[in-house]
Structure 1
């Protein structure tokens, strides 16, 4: 496996985006550890729930209905949700104010339970995430997939990115690039592929001093359909 230098990736992305200034304006800055610690449990659940509902559905449709979701699910407060009966969950799944999808509605309960259990063990869900080692960020993805519901694939990583967690994302462009570099061979979610991807990003991070988020974005802008603005 031979990796490109990050500088070469960066300069190609800048050329495709009309210069370094334009490229820099497109890059996100993840939250600091201290900022992550301030995120309450309900916002983690809301982010996971939004991404679950956006999977396979127009993101705009979900966003437009989201105020209704916040109302129906008590602002995604964990404790009230955990007290609901099976019948009450069924009634919420049939509520016409939201997108009626029984399995996705029930994922809210499962993910509330995950957040609650993590909070008991770590003090808060935010503390667990903030203390997760960046060199094993895919380990956090796997935690969400194993302990949560419908958070596998890119759903978990996109949820984390939405809240400002520093993570790369295996978007189509990033995955394609990593396959061309022989970092990913076979399934992208295999232990070998995830370990190799972690190693590659750790190397680029050490080389560039940039966040995983920005490295991921630069790779995406350097390849695929991301042309000059």
Structure 2
């Protein structure tokens, strides 16, 4: 694999944004591992659920309704979510205080169970996520997709980034870059494409010393519609 030097990608992104400092101000920062490990498990379930509801919908509409979700689902308490009987879930899915979508509501107990299972093995879901090496972040994506509900595609990765776990995102611009430079071909979410993307990001990380989240943001800012 012949990769473009990351310094060249950075230069192009900084030029498009006006300066190095203007670019740097736009970049995310992952949480330190000790902070990541301390996140309460209910916040993971809340974040997964919010991202699932935002999929295919106006994000701001979901955000505006979210305090109601927190109330209806008792702050996404993991034990409570795992104990609610099926008929109560169907009733909650019709509550006018939230966005009524039975399929998405039913992801909550499924993902609560995933979190609870990880807690039994690792002490907390946050500890489980914090210990996962970013050099194999696609492995964590695969775990969320396999053991969770509706956490495939970019839903899982966006949730991880929002919570502070270092991850790249295969956004439209990043995917377009990887294809234009023949790093991936075929389906974006195939094992082959994901492994190729992970390898490229690992090498850029070794070159730059930057977290994966910043590398993917800089790639996105270096092309596409991110010129302002």
Deviation per CA, 1:110-167, whole angstroms, max 9, x where unpaired? 0000000011111111111001011100100000000000000000000011111100
Between the aligned partners of 1:209 and 1:21, the Cα distance in structure 2 is: 18
Q: Match of 2:11?
A: 11
CA shift, 1:173, in A, is 0.0
Superposition deviation, residue 188 in structure 1: 1.1
Structure 2 unmatched runs, 5+: none
Equivalence for 1:111: 111
Corresponding residue of 1:29: 29
Q: What is the aligned length? A: 228
Cross-structure match for 1:204: 204
Residue 71 of structure 1 aligns to a residue whose secondary structure is: helix
Q: Which residue of 2 aligns with 1:56?
A: 56
Q: Secondary structure at the match of 2:7?
A: helix
Q: Whole-Å Cα distance in 1 between the matches of residues 208 and 100 of structure 2?
A: 45
Normalising by structure 1, we get a TM-score of 0.98
Report the Cα offset of residue 73 of structure 1: 0.4
What whole-Å deviation, never above 9, does each CA across 1:18-65 have from its counterpart, x for those lacking one? 111100000011101111001011000000000000000100000000
- List aligned pairs for 1:72-221, cutoff 5 A: 72-221=72-221
Q: Which runs of 4+ in 1 moved over 3 A?
A: none
Post-superposition offset of 1:190: 1.1
- Alignment TM-score, normalising by the size of structure 2: 0.99
Report the 3-state secondary structure (helix = DSSP H, G, I; strand = E; otherwise coil) of the residue aligned with 2:175.
helix
CA RMSD of aligned residues (A): 0.6
Quote the Cα distance in structure 2 between the aligned partners of 1:184 and 1:158: 20
| Matches of 2:36 and 2:88, distance apart in 1 | 32
Q: For residue 65 of structure 1, what is the aligned residue in structure 2?
A: 65
1:128 & 1:183 partners in 2: Cα distance? Answer: 30
Are 1:44 and 2:44 matched, yes or no? Answer: yes
Farther off after superposition, 79-88 or 100-109: 79-88
Q: Structure 2 CA distance, aligned partners of 1:148 and 1:77?
A: 17
In structure 2, C-alpha distance between the alignment counterparts of 1:150 and 1:97, rounded to whole Å: 22
- 1:226 corresponds in structure 2 to 226
Deviation at 1:191, TM superposition (A): 1.1
**How many Å apart are 1:182 and its aligned residue?**
1.1
Q: Please, which runs of 5 or more residues in structure 1 have no aligned partner?
A: none
Give per-residue Cα distances to partners, 1:51-108, cap 9 Å, x unaligned.
0000001000000000000000010110011111111101100000000000000001
Q: Secondary structure of 1:113's partner?
A: helix
